[in-house]
Amino acid sequence: MLRKVNGIEVNIDPIPIRDISFPSPFPAGLEFSSPARGTWNIAHQGMLIPQAHEIFVCAASCLRGVVLTAYEMRAEKRFSTVAVEESNLIEGNMEDLIIDGVSHIIDELPQKPPCVLVYTSCVHHFCGCDLDMVYRELRSRFPMIDFTDCYMNPIMRKSGRTPDQIMRSRFYSLLKPKDILPGSVAFIGNDFSTAKDSTLYKALASAGIKIYELTECNTYEEYQEMARAEYYIVDYPSAKVGGEDLSERLSGKLLYLPFTFTYKEIRENVRKLSEALPIVLPDFDAEEEKCEEALASAKELIKDTPVAIDYTSFTRPLGLARLLLDHGFNVCRVYADAFIGEEKEDYEYLCEKHPDLEIWPTLSPQMRFAADHQRSDYLCIGQKAAHFNGAPHFVDIVENGGLYGYQAVTKLCELMEDAFINEKDIRERISKKAWGCESCI
């Protein structure tokens, strides 16, 4: 497509899937930030730990985003900051700044929290700050408070574990060993509660299995009870390392059952669960039949309306595109800057069967001018797709939205039908940070 930039027409084009390199289709370079804000950040996520107090130690430019995150989610009373200044870099007193700053804040709090999440940043990594000593000292000063090391260091995003992977692990680092409750499970690493009617939850609940989940905890004691789980279920890919860390540290066992839209993989995941726990296997054929009916019904309504999907909606955007294309939907565009390795099979399938499927970046500078300010007829799945296409008909969901298994398919069909019929205010919806979280905006 052509867009005018400073009076000059600029080509803004996608790449057909057949021509992309997997898993990173686009070259790294300058980055643009779309106004879609529905995904959660590390300040939102830390607040999931009941009664936790967050203290960020960073420069003002880094603090600005998280402090206002806390305000917007009305959690400012659980959030404090220590500002790094130039003198701290010059004088090399970063350890003192953290210890004294965190101590001072705790002393000033009207009520002592049971745990404090201390977030350090890129500068601490670069100046060789002795964080081990810092936490030793803090634990010695405040023996009644649990501390954990958290990080806001996006500069490390290409160095081993990503910041998202690290943080989805750190939020469980406060769990202390407890006696295991045999046959119990904990969902690990999700920002949303697993839907009660999801395939996994239903199977577990109907077998009377005790289920722990961070999002359902109301007190720090309840959070600590999660340590009793015998199995840690992880379905969110970037939480897998968190599950691995936890199973290494405590005595629970990891069950990695990744979110998927593929019937075969759903069956495999549920079977894997049944090998560990005494669940009753669902009638797979009947469940799949229900999915087929839901897909047919949605297709009947939506017909050949062009569909666009973005990576913030579901962790398997290519898997979703495959499912919908195989059921006759007119999926034209997928927005993603990178794919997870688990999508390789779907990528190869789509290259062969739907080679013209358009793959669009979201971070590339050209996307600054890609947004269609005219209303479009696209049915979009995800906030970024809705923004770029100017599509008021969109499914507003992020990070799988707590869906799982066959229920994810049927629920998505419902949401697509609803989105097709009812318009949403794009700007109002996508400007709120952290989909599903409280917001004063």
Partner 1 sequence: MNQTSRILSTYSADAFGVASSLFELGGMVIIHDASGCNSTYTTHDEPRWYDMDSMLFVSAISEMEAIMGDDEKLISDIVTEARKFHPRFIAIAGTPIPAMTGFDGPSVAMQIENLTGIPSFGFNTTGMKTYVSGAAMALRDLAARFVRKDITPKRDHYINVLGATPLDFSTNGQIESIVKLLTGNGWKVNCTYAMNTTFEAVENMGCADVNLVISSTGRDTAKFLKDTFGTPYLEAVPYGKEFSRKVLSSLEKLYNGEGTDIFETKEAPSDGCFLIGEEIAALSLSEALLLETGRSFRILCPTNDGPLLRSTDRYTPYEDDIVDALSGAETVICDPTYRNILTEKARVIDWPHEACSGRIYRKYIPNLIGDISDISEKL
Q: Of 66-74, 195-203, 254-262, 374-382, which segment contacts partner 1 by CB under 8 A? A: 66-74
Residue 335 parent element (H or E): strand 330-335
As measured in angstroms, the least distance from the Cβ of 385 to partner 1 is 16
C-alpha to C-alpha distance for 214 and 192, rounded to whole angstroms: 9
Q: Judged by CB under 8 A, which of 1, 2, 109, 296 binds partner 1?
A: 109
Residue 123 contacts partner 1 per CB under 8 A? yes
User: In the range 299-358, which residues lie near partner 1 by CB under 8 A?
Assistant: none
Contact criterion met (CB below 8 Å) for 334 and 357: yes
Residue 394 contacts partner 1 per CB under 8 A? no
CA distances from 423 to 188, 227, 375 (A): 34, 44, 11
What is the dihedral angle through the alpha carbons of 220, 247, 210, 51, rounded to the nearest 10 degrees?
10
As measured in angstroms, the least distance from the Cβ of 226 to partner 1 is 29
Q: Judged by CB under 8 A, which of 24, 93, 159, 206 binds partner 1?
A: 159
Residue 136 contacts partner 1 per CB under 8 A? no
Those residues with Cβ within 8 angstroms of residue 416's Cβ, 6 or more apart along the chain or in another chain: 298, 302, 379, 381, 395
CA distances from 45 to 73, 189, 395, 433 (A): 11, 10, 23, 12
Residue 33 contacts partner 1 per CB under 8 A? yes
| Adjacent-strand bridge partners of 253 | 231
Closer to partner 1 at the Cβ: 155 or 286? 155
User: In the range 416-435, which residues lie near partner 1 by CB under 8 A?
Assistant: 427, 431, 433
Q: Judged by CB under 8 A, which of 15, 22, 23, 32 binds partner 1?
A: 32
Closer to partner 1 at the Cβ: 395 or 430? 430
Alpha helices in 146-283 (DSSP H): 163-170, 199-206, 220-225, 240-249, 263-276
Q: Judged by CB under 8 A, which of 1, 2, 71, 293 binds partner 1?
A: 71
Residue 177 contacts partner 1 per CB under 8 A? no
Those residues with Cβ within 8 angstroms of residue 86's Cβ, 6 or more apart along the chain or in another chain: none
Q: Of 14-22, 57-65, 271-279, 318-326, which segment contacts partner 1 by CB under 8 A? A: 57-65
Contact criterion met (CB below 8 Å) for 324 and 307: yes
Task: Assign 324 to helix, strand or coil.
Answer: helix
Task: Assign 108 to helix, strand or coil.
Answer: helix
Residue 131 contacts partner 1 per CB under 8 A? no
Instruction: Tell whether omega for the bond before 163 is within 30 degrees of 0, i.e. cis.
Output: no
Residue 60 contacts partner 1 per CB under 8 A? yes
Q: Under the phi-then-psi rule, with left for phi > 0, alpha for psi from -120 to 50, and beta for the rest, what region is 262?
A: beta
Q: Judged by CB under 8 A, which of 2, 19, 24, 126 binds partner 1?
A: 126
As measured in angstroms, the least distance from the Cβ of 392 to partner 1 is 15
| Adjacent-strand bridge partners of 256 | 234
Query: Within 10 A of 318 (CB to CB), how many other CB atoms are there?
Result: 30
As measured in angstroms, the least distance from the Cβ of 431 to partner 1 is 7
Closer to partner 1 at the Cβ: 275 or 428? 428
C-alpha to C-alpha distance for 417 and 379, rounded to whole angstroms: 10
Q: Judged by CB under 8 A, which of 63, 116, 277, 308 binds partner 1?
A: 63
As measured in angstroms, the least distance from the Cβ of 361 to partner 1 is 12
Q: Judged by CB under 8 A, which of 1, 91, 93, 104 binds partner 1?
A: 104
For the chain, the residue count is: 441
Residue 127 contacts partner 1 per CB under 8 A? yes
C-alpha to C-alpha distance for 129 and 98, rounded to whole angstroms: 10
What is the distance in angstroms between the CA of the first residue and the CA of the last residue of the chain?
A: 33
Q: Judged by CB under 8 A, which of 13, 76, 326, 345 binds partner 1?
A: 76
Task: Assign 254 to helix, strand or coil.
Answer: strand
Residue 154 contacts partner 1 per CB under 8 A? yes
User: In the range 358-387, which residues lie near partner 1 by CB under 8 A?
Assistant: 363, 365-366, 368-369
As measured in angstroms, the least distance from the Cβ of 138 to partner 1 is 14
Residues that bind partner 1 in the complex, under the rule CB under 8 A: 5-6, 8, 10, 28-33, 35, 37, 58-65, 67-68, 71-72, 76-77, 79-86, 89, 97, 100-101, 104-105, 108-109, 121-123, 125-127, 152-159, 363, 365-366, 368-369, 427, 431, 433, 440-441
